[in-house]
């Protein structure tokens, strides 16, 4: 029997590629010089798409794959996949929840600490000879501060646990209060920002959260406030964030996600009060191996007629 044909939107680590190549005929969209020609040539045979959280699969792409049965996403966020098109056309969708939660929350904590304690500045001070001429300026404490968590899903809850372990007072904004959690619910995002020393965004991306962190929210954080985003760049009014950071109207930012990744706004590179990461919340060997396994297991379940492990659609 011939192997099922899989379209890959972006590359996976070699340990996943080897396994996928042994089971499927892989078509590498990211290597195609002319995507339209590539899809016209291979689209008819493709039964699965393997994509990545941030690359996704839009309706114009999915429409070119008439035999498509499943989209397997290497990531928890499916905002870049047209779920409505999938639902309407009987296409299954899977993602990789849970396995990345703790690493993304760790990176959020790392960013919060790195910005407040100015780790990049301290590192430079220790390396470049400035230390011998004088001590570094003082920084900002994290322990015991007020942390506002925006979004209280799996990642928000994992982040909140960490902040609570630093004796921070945690409050949160979400669609609805979570009575089981020991944190204060604040139903107004501007109010949450006003009450917080650190505002940490952990929301899912997509139309429902686009631009939810407005200029007014950023302003309410104030000149000493620190903003952290480990969710999606789309959740924030990025122009307002850049203005506030450049003009010192907020204290600083730790950012793992941006609009137009990886071609992010060059204004970010000029900021002294921001610590930037290349969308690396899930970027550990351990988590990426678990994510890849989940993608492969979902595909294997689908093609052997078994229930999907982590279905979204
Ligand atoms: C990326 C993510 O998928 O899980 C998500 O939603 O955005 C990330 O884990 C990861 O960078 C792999 O491309």
In a domain, 35, yes or no: yes
Based on the fold, state whether residues 85 and 31 are members of the same structural domain: yes
Residue 54's pLDDT is what?
Answer: 76
Rounded average pLDDT over 154-173: 98
Q: What average pLDDT does range 105-109 have in this prediction?
A: 99
**Domain holding 228: CATH number?**
3.40.50.720
Quick check: CB of 56 below 6 Å from ligand 1?
no
Q: Are residues 36 and 140 in the same domain?
A: no
Tell whether 281 is covered by a domain: no
Ligand 1 centre and the CA of 96: distance in Å?
9
Active-site residue identified among 162, 232, 288, 302: 232
**Best mutation site among 277, 282, 294 for ligand 1, i.e. most ligand atoms within 8 A of its Cβ?**
282
The pLDDT mean for the chain works out to: 97
Question: Average pLDDT of 169-195?
Answer: 98
207: Cα separation from own chain's centroid:
15
Q: What angle do CA 232, 236, 240 make, to 5 degrees?
A: 145
213 with 132, same domain? Answer: yes
Quick check: is 253 in a domain? Answer: yes
Q: Are residues 109 and 144 in the same domain?
A: yes
pLDDT, tens digit (0-9, with 9 covering 90-100), for 191-225: 999 999 999 999 999 999 999 999 999 999 999 99
156 and 243 together in one domain: yes
The model scores a pTM over 0.95: yes
Do 296 and 269 fall within a single domain? no
Locate the DSSP E strands across the chain: 5-8, 25-28, 46-52, 70-74, 92-94, 146-150, 169-173, 184-185, 198-201, 226-229, 252-255, 274-276
**Does 151 contact ligand 1 (Cβ within 6 A)?**
no
Q: Does 294 lie in the same domain as 261?
A: no
Supply the pLDDT for residue 185.
98
Q: Could you write out the DSSP letters of every residue in 82-131? A: -HHHHHHTT-EEE---STTHHHHHHHHHHHHHHHHTTHHHHHHHHHSSHH
Do 209 and 62 share a structural domain? Answer: no
Please state, in angstroms and rounded to a whole number, the distance separating the CA atoms of residues 22 and 223. Answer: 55
Phi-psi region of 50 (alpha: psi -120 to 50; beta: other; left: phi over 0): beta
Q: Are 156 and 93 in the same domain?
A: no
Atom of ligand 1 nearest to the CA of 73: 3
Tell whether 160 and 43 lie within a shared domain.
Answer: no
Let me know if residue 145 belongs to a domain. Answer: yes
Beta bridge partners of 73: 51
Q: Does the interface predicted TM-score (ipTM) exceed 0.85?
A: yes
Same domain, yes or no, for 252 and 292? no
d(CA 241, CA 302): 43
Task: Report yes or no on 131 lying in a domain.
Answer: yes
86 and 191 share a domain? Answer: no
Tell me the per-residue pLDDT of 218-243, one tens digit each, with 9 for 90 and over: 999 999 999 999 999 999 999 999 99
User: CA–CA separation, 132 vs 154, rounded Å?
Assistant: 45
The verdict on the CB of residue 85 being under 6 Å from ligand 1 is: no
d(CA 301, CA 308): 6
3-class state of residue 144 by DSSP:
coil
- Ligand 1 center from residue 54 Cα (angstroms): 6
Structural domain range at position 210: 101-276
Pocket of ligand 1 contains residue 94 by CB under 6 Å: no
CA torsion angle for 151, 98, 96, 292 (degrees, to 10)? 140
Establish if 67 belongs to a structural domain. yes
- Domain total in the chain: 2
- Cβ(117)–Cβ(140) under 8 Å? yes
């Amino acid at each position: 029997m011939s192997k099922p044909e899989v379209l890959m939107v972006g590359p996976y680590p070699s340990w996943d590629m080897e396994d996928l190549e042994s089971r499927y005929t892989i078509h590498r969209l990211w290597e195609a010089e002319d995507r339209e020609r590539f899809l016209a040539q291979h689209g008819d045979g493709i039964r699965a798409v393997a994509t990545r959280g941030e690359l996704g699969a839009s309706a114009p792409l999915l429409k070119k794959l008439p035999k498509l049965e499943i989209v397997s996403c290497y990531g928890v966020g499916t905002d870049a996949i047209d779920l409505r098109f999938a639902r309407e056309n009987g296409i299954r969708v899977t993602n990789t929840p849970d396995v990345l939660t703790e690493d993304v929350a760790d990176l959020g904590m790392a960013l919060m600490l790195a910005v407040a304690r100015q780790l990049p500045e301290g590192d430079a001070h220790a390396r470049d000879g400035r230390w011998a001429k004088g001590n570094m300026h003082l920084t900002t404490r994290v322990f015991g501060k007020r942390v506002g968590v925006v979004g209280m899903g799996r990642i928000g809850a994992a982040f909140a646990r960490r902040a609570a372990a630093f004796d921070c007072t945690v409050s949160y904004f979400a669609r609805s209060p979570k009575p089981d959690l020991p944190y204060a619910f604040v139903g107004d995002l501007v109010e949450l920002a006003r009450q917080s020393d650190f505002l940490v965004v952990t929301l899912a991306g997509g139309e429902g959260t686009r631009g939810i962190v407005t200029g007014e929210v950023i302003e309410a954080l104030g000149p000493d406030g620190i903003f952290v985003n480990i969710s999606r760049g789309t959740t924030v009014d990025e122009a307002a964030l850049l203005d506030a950071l450049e003009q010192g109207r907020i204290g600083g930012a730790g950012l793992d996600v941006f609009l137009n990744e990886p071609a992010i706004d060059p204004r970010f590179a000029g900021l002294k009060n921001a610590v930037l990461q290349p969308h690396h919340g899930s970027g550990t060997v351990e988590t990426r191996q678990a994510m890849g396994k989940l993608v492969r297991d979902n595909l294997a379940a689908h093609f052997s007629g078994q229930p999907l492990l982590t279905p979204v659609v």
